[in-house]
Structure 1
């Protein structure tokens, strides 16, 4: 079961603290596309609040998501399995080098996503609650937010953080984006 789970997330069947560090992720190059936002119910009602900046930000984040998200999360989870195989001992094998490489990739991703996530419009409803008028805008924003916490946890050598709340929340929002087909 362990090997099947590891293979499903993109790791090797044998977790090893002696694996070499992951390579840097390739830079995301935004290209023109015919992608358009979706406005399912009830987002058809908030369409008037969606700006061109929202649309451009989500278009670019979708290009990142479809090209890089799975690989990045595979790296995070692969590191987690390797750390587990090392009994959470950061001094065994290549664990620290693996952690450093994953942190660089997560931080680069967070830096790339930041201006796009922050460009998304947040509006208040009649009760003063904040919402994102763009379909799955909140999912991208929350994914960016929790992903930024992932690197903090790894850098702090917080072994519980590898499978802790931020990784799980990042996976939750990534799954929500994937299941919505917003990037298709």
Structure 2
């Protein structure tokens, strides 16, 4: 069911980062701010990500009309669904943005950026793709336009789940 989410209020947590190879080599670059940001993002992920993912998928399907067009939000209750889902994505982005931006990005000797904390990049990429999805839906872009960002968001979200990043 598509309905608005409650606001996430982070609480103290026992979450701790994992340091599998090669992250054991960058452990000294992980800051308390990285750990706090990941802990709070995991609280959001565990509480709302799966439902948000399902809402986005349902909206992507629901907005395709009988004529195959998916930009007309005035039919049925599509506008209401769009308002709720984009509101939920926007709320997620409001929560994730300061935390993603707080993550340390370092450079390797070749000048490439990386996140020293395990799967910090996955949260960054999830945040980035959710931003794209929200912008596309709000701009009435067709499903084929927003679908790649939806798929990439699902990929990064699945990566977080599959690798048990948010388990305590």
Which among 69, 89, 93 is matched to residue 106 of structure 1?
89
RMSD in angstroms over aligned alpha carbons? 1.4
TM-score by length of 1: 0.85
3-state SS of paired residue (1:127):
coil
Unaligned runs of 5+ in 1: 1-10, 12-21
Q: How does 1:4-23 map to 2 (within 5 A)?
A: 22-23=2-3
- Relative to structure 2, which stretch is displaced further, 22-31 or 106-115? 22-31
Which among 82, 88, 91 is matched to residue 74 of structure 2?
91
Which among 156, 164, 167 is matched to residue 173 of structure 1?
156
- Structure 2 distance, partners of 1:162, 1:113, is 24
- Structure 1 distance, partners of 2:145, 2:27, is 38
Q: Provide the residue aligned with 1:123 in structure 2.
A: 106
Give the count of matched residue pairs.
164
Unaligned runs of 5+ in 2: none
Alpha-carbon shift at residue 161 of structure 1 (Å): 5.2
- Structure 2 distance, partners of 1:34, 1:161, is 41
- Structure 1 distance, partners of 2:63, 2:8, is 28
- Does the aligned pair in 1 maintain the 2:23–2:118 contact within 8 Å? yes
3-state SS of paired residue (1:24):
coil
Q: Provide the residue aligned with 1:45 in structure 2.
A: 25
* Displaced runs of 4 or more, over 6 A: none
Deviation string, structure 1 residues 9-53 (Cα, Å, up to 9, x no partner): xx6xxxxxxxxxx32111112111211100001100000000000
Relative contact order (C-alpha < 8 Å, sep 6+): which is higher? 2
Assess, with a 3 A threshold, how the Cα gap between structure 1 residues 62 and 151 changes in structure 2: closer, same or farther: same
- Structure 1 distance, partners of 2:54, 2:142, is 17
- Does the aligned pair in 2 maintain the 1:150–1:161 contact within 8 Å? no
